[in-house]
Amino acid sequence: MNKKSIIFSLLLAAAATACSRTNPAPETPQKILAGYTHSSATTPIDPAGYTHIIYSAAYINDSLNGIGITNPDRLRYVASLKDSVPGLKIMLSVGAPAENLSLMSRNDSLRQLTARDFLRVMEEYNLDGIDIDWEWPGRGEKALPLDEEIANYTSFLSDTRKAIGPDKLLTIAIATSCYGTDFEHMTPLLDWYNVMNYDLGKPPYSHNAPLYKSDLVTWTYGDEGVAKMLEAGVPSEKIVYGLAFYGHGAAPYKTCDWRDIELLPGMTAHTDSVACAAYIADSTGTMVYSYDTPYTLSQKCRYILDRNLGGAMVWRMESDDTTSTLSRSLIEALKAR
C-alpha cells in the first residue's frame, strides 16, 4: 500500500471522530503558521500559506560576542521568499552550542554585544526577527544552577529586545513541559512562544506528538503544556503550538521525514482518536511508527482555533512531500472558521 492509500484509509477511519474536546470559539484574526527550515536543506520551499519561516540555525560564536550563520547562501534564498509572498516574515533561529549560550548570557557585556549583533545580521539578510532555541538551560558540564541560568536567559532576552526594538519579532522555542522558562518576566519581552509539542515519546510505548493522554502516552502531551502556560498567565495568542512533519520509529525502524514513512507488508495504519495521533503497528499489534497525518494535524489545528491560540509551528517544512500535502492541510484547517 502506498502513502496516498494510507492517508485515504486513515481519513475514512477517523472521519467520525473528533480529537478536539472543546466547543467552537468565536472567529479570530489570522493565525500564525510558522515553519522551521534547516540550514542543511537543499530542496525548494513552498512558502504559500505560511506567515513566518524560521531559519535554523545560527549559533553563538566562540568569542561569545556575536553569532555565526550556518550556510549563509541558503539563508539568503529563504529570505528571498518574501519577494513572492506579500507579508511573509523571515526569522533566524539561534541555538547550539548550549554551553556558549550559558557562558555568554552570564556576562553583561557579552550579552549586549551579542544582542547588537542580531540587529546587524537582520539588516544584512533582510530578516524580521530572532528566535532563541535554548531548550535546556541549567544542563551541561559548565552550566549554572537552573534558577541562575533562567535569570541570565531572561536578561539576554531583555538585552535583545532593547537592541532590535519593538518592531522586530522576538520568540523562543520551549518544551511542552515548560522547562527553563520564567513566564512572568519573559512573556512581556516576547511576541510568542514556539512550543515544541513533539519528541514526547517513541514507539513501541508512546506517541511522538500526542495532543491528549491515552494508553499510548507515557509522559506529557500537548494539552498539558498549553494548560500550564495559560495557568501561568501567558496570553493564549502568545502560544504557538508545535507540530511534527516527521515520525519516530521503534528499532529497527528509524525516525524519518513524513514523506518517507512506508506501510510495509504485514503492517496496519491506525488513528489513536484519544491522543489525536496516528501510528503504524506490525503484525503483532505493536506500534512501530508514531507520526501525524493530514487528518490528525487538522484536528490539532481545530484545537488551536478552539483554544484561541496564536497559531501553529512546524518542524520542519522540508519533511513534507513534493506536493506540500501536510502544509496544505494546515493552511485549510487554520482558516476553517
The chain-wide mean pLDDT, for the chain, equals: 92
Q: Has residue 192 got a pLDDT over 70?
A: yes
pTM of the model: 0.91
- Three-state secondary-structure class, residue 248: strand
Percent of the chain with pLDDT over 70: 91
Q: Has residue 8 got a pLDDT over 70?
A: no
Q: Has residue 4 got a pLDDT over 80?
A: no
Q: Has residue 30 got a pLDDT over 90?
A: no
**Residue 92, C-beta contacts closer than 8 angstroms, at least 6 positions apart:** 54, 55, 58, 69, 75, 118, 121, 122, 125, 127, 129, 130, 131
What's the pLDDT score for residue 29? 59
- Tell me the mean pLDDT in the region 104-112: 97
Query: CA-CA distance, 105 to 115, in Å (whole number)?
Result: 10
What residues are paired with 315 via a beta bridge? 244
**Residue 188, C-beta contacts closer than 8 angstroms, at least 6 positions apart:** none
DSSP conformational letter for 317: G
pLDDT digits (tens, 9 = 90+) for 245-267: 999 999 999 999 999 999 999 99
What's the pLDDT score for residue 11? 41
User: Quick check: 94 and 117 in contact, CB under 8 A?
Assistant: no
**Residue 66, C-beta contacts closer than 8 angstroms, at least 6 positions apart:** 60, 113, 114, 117, 120
Q: Has residue 22 got a pLDDT over 80?
A: no
Pairing of the two strands 277-281 and 268-272? antiparallel
Q: Has residue 65 got a pLDDT over 90?
A: yes
pLDDT digits (tens, 9 = 90+) for 218-251: 999 999 999 999 999 999 999 999 999 999 999 9
Place of cell 522558562: 181
What's the pLDDT score for residue 149? 97
User: Quick check: 298 and 331 in contact, CB under 8 A?
Assistant: no
- Three-state secondary-structure class, residue 110: helix
What residues are paired with 69 via a beta bridge? 58
pLDDT digits (tens, 9 = 90+) for 88-104: 999 999 998 899 999 99
What's the pLDDT score for residue 141? 85
Confidence of residue 10 (pLDDT cuts 50, 70, 90): very low
pLDDT digits (tens, 9 = 90+) for 285-337: 999 999 999 999 999 999 999 999 999 999 999 999 999 999 999 999 998 65
Query: CA-CA distance, 144 to 148, in Å (whole number)?
Result: 6
What's the pLDDT score for residue 15? 36
Of the candidates 42, 11, 4, which has an alpha carbon nearest to the alpha carbon of residue 258? 4
Confidence of residue 108 (pLDDT cuts 50, 70, 90): very high
Buried b (16+ CB within 10 A) or exposed e, 194-218: bbbbbbbbbbbebbbbbbbebebbe
Walk across the sheet containing 246-249 and list its strands: 256-257, 246-249, 287-291, 277-281, 268-272
At residue 107, what is the residue type? N
